Chains A and B, each alone.
Chain A
Amino acid sequence: MPKPTITTANPLTERLLIAAAVGVIGLLIIVPLASVFAEAFAEGPAAWWRALAHDPDTRHAIWLSLTVAPLAVAINTIFGIATAWLVSRFRFPGRSLLITLCDVPFSVSPVVAGLALVLIFGRQGLLGPTLASLGWKVIFSWPGLVLATTFVTLPLVVRELIPVMEAIGPEEELAAVSLGASGWQVFTRVTLPNIRWALLHGVVLANARAMGEFGAVYVVSGHIAGLTDTMPLRVEKLFQEYRTPASMAVASVLAGLALVTLVAKFVIERQLEAEARELEAARSLPDTLAGSGTPPDAGPPTSTQASIP
């Protein structure tokens, strides 16, 4: 099918706009990203590998990031599904406020979020004495990192799910209930398969954001090398210590992750579009289907040999 084109724009304008877009993207995204990789591999892959694997603090930072991010994503997945379910299936006072509150982490600076967590969970914080008496350490420890990361990635899963669940509607779930399914069966057999791509999309975005989180984590981690440094913090610390090649090596891992996320996002978005089309098709009811060897509706039988089913 030919793509529609705007014929009123003159060719010069079009070329200028393309040049501007390519220029900005090139200057701000492609060149910096490429230079990170160039810098990281400047002394060859062996040096790159040494910088990552032979420094115990860097190793620990990678391991910590690989632990904290999935935990935060898991919490957000559970929270996201529960909240999206609540918001899309029930009407209650304060519903719109709840949706708005889910977006707060998008508008609050991560540093502020980190500070808020210190105010609550820190030694002089609201819950500090209680936590201290229990022997739990949140701030300057990994639970604080998980909390901070969860906070900043909070909207990503729930924001993906709400519109999809609204669009699908409750009918299939009600049908499953009337057929005798339990709540868990409805969720695993009907809801989850219907939202799986939207959920995966949210998870991939949340994971990318969680891995890269710097501000909130910076405040709550205390920046203890080999203990509470995540990958982004490690990149910054190595850079401050004038160990640029090592810093770039870690940065290249984060950048590589971004590229993987990009590909995953592309694939998932295509699936989401396909699902949306399918939903559209399921809503419209063709009386005869064109093509694909489908016979036209033969109509109902003229007599029924019904046994009581």
Chain B
Amino acid sequence: MSIHVRGISKAFGTFQALDNVSLDVPQGTLLALLGPSGSGKTTLLRIIAGLEWPDSGRIEEDGADITDRHARQREVGFVFQHYALFRHMSVFENIAFGLRVRKAPKHEVDTKVNELLHLVRLDGLGGRKPAQLSGGQRQRVALARALAIRPKILLLDEPFGALDAKVRVELRQWLRRLHDEIGMTSVFVTHDQEEAFELADEVVVMNHGKIEQRGTPDEVFEHPATPFVMDFLGNVNVFHGRVEKGQAFWHGIPIDYPDYPHAQARPARVYLRPHELDIARTGAHASNGPATNDPAGTGSLPASVLRIARSGPIARISCRPDGSESELHVDLPADTTPQGSRVSPRP
């Protein structure tokens, strides 16, 4: 089922949440709506679900206008930010809810719910109450509940926002695989670019109720279309590296990454935030050795300074590691900013 958003606007009082937004989501896509809070991404998701009404504009599914269709009839699976599980119902009844209100026969409900419990790996936990589950388990119940009604579209509002970092990474990978196997058109909202880039086929960056850019993660990352996107994404450095035995390797320099304890090496995108990097004080690198070999053994990387931007107490150093095409940003306290055109950034 493809979704077409046509010129949607929505205001809450004087606050313009969405300003003439149009968006096509092709069948089978996993699309991320990425933006800061207040950018209108959740409002757009709720309008697609029918939980919020647009002031103007249309929503179409496979070409059929569904703008005036009640949320009840939209056949949309919605996973809420805090899951909104029915507190007084068991896990089983939560998942069964959509089938029960459709008056599905009992044996069909039982079969279906057990199938879904298995799918989300919660076999045997059907009798629990939501309060007796961990965050990751609740998230999966919410997902199973949304899938039970055989939705044509799956919408997820900050699906991993409330989880801790480890569970988040695992669930993310699992959701991606689930999407690939079910192939349902899915849209999720996030303010976390890492999440958007890792999970989505396409990323839509939103700001102030408008779409700033839309494209594949690589397109958006490598060619930011607007200053806002550049600034929003500029907060992170990304590299192709590998993970192995609890470490990620960035140009051959190991960085602790306990989420991947397996011995088998795997290619990975390495994200490094500018404040997580430092400039090595040594400054005594063997001149222009191959960058990936860390010749001095200092855990740092020789690089050329491109520019230094000071803002208040922080200075952002943009540099290019030797032998690399991409820029690297390092945030440092302004008073420790190195002099000269050669630096050695390190994690």
> Which residues of A line the B interface, CB within 8 A?
171-172, 174-182, 185, 189-190, 193-194, 278-279, 281-283, 285-289, 292, 294, 296-301, 303-309
Contacts and interface: CB of A to CB of B under 8 A. Distances in A.
A304 B72 contact: no
Interface string B135-158: 111101000011111100000000
A178 B50 contact: yes
Given A287-B135, A288-B134, A300-B140, A179 B87 contact: no
Interface in B67-95: 70-74, 76-78, 80, 82, 84-88
A281 B78 CA distance: 22
A298 B101 contact: no
B306 interface: no
A309 B136 contact: no
Contact of A174 (B51, B101, B148, B163): B51
12 contacts: A171-B84, A175-B145, A177-B70, A182-B72, A185-B101, A287-B163, A289-B133, A289-B134, A299-B136, A306-B182, A309-B116, A309-B119
B347 interface: no
Nearest to A307: B115
Contacts of B183: 308
Please give me the 7 A-B residue pairs with the lowest Cβ-Cβ distance, nearest first: A285-B135, A300-B174, A171-B84, A179-B98, A306-B181, A297-B134, A175-B84
Contacts of A175: 78, 80, 84-86, 145
A100 to B, nearest CB: 22
Interface in B146-191: 146-150, 162-164, 166-167, 170-171, 173-174, 177-178, 181-183
B49 A300 contact: no
Contact of B132 (A176, A279, A289): A289
B61 to A, nearest CB: 15
Contacts of A285: 134-135, 138, 162-163
B82 A283 contact: yes
A309 B170 contact: no
A309 B149 CA distance: 8
A172 B51 contact: no
A164 to B, nearest CB: 13
A180 B87 contact: no
Contacts of A189: 86, 97, 101
A281 B131 contact: yes
A287 B167 contact: yes
Contacts of B163: 285, 287
Nearest to B136: A297
Contacts of B171: 300
B112 to A, nearest CB: 7
A306 B143 CA distance: 13
B130 interface: yes
Contacts of B106: none
Nearest to B70: A177
Contacts of A281: 131
B174 A301 contact: yes
Contact of A300 (B74, B84, B136): B136
Contacts of B182: 306, 308-309
B195 to A, nearest CB: 15
Contacts of B166: 287
Contacts of B78: 174-175, 178
Contact of B76 (A176, A178, A305): A178
B84 A174 contact: yes
A176 B149 CA distance: 12
A297 B137 contact: yes
Contacts of B178: 304, 306
B134 A179 contact: no
B107 interface: no
Contact of A182 (B76, B101, B137, B148): B101
B101 A172 contact: no
Contact of A179 (B50, B97, B131, B135): B97
B112 A179 contact: no
Given A179-B97, A300-B173, 7 more contacts: A174-B84, A175-B80, A175-B86, A177-B72, A179-B146, A181-B101, A309-B148
> Interface centre among A182, A297, A307, A308, by most B CB within 10 Å?
A297
Contacts of B97: 176, 179, 181, 189
A286 B130 contact: no
Contact of B51 (A178, A181, A182): A178
B121 A300 contact: yes
Nearest to A185: B101
Contacts of B174: 300-301, 304
Nearest to B171: A300
Given A287-B164, A309-B112, A309-B182, A194 B87 contact: yes
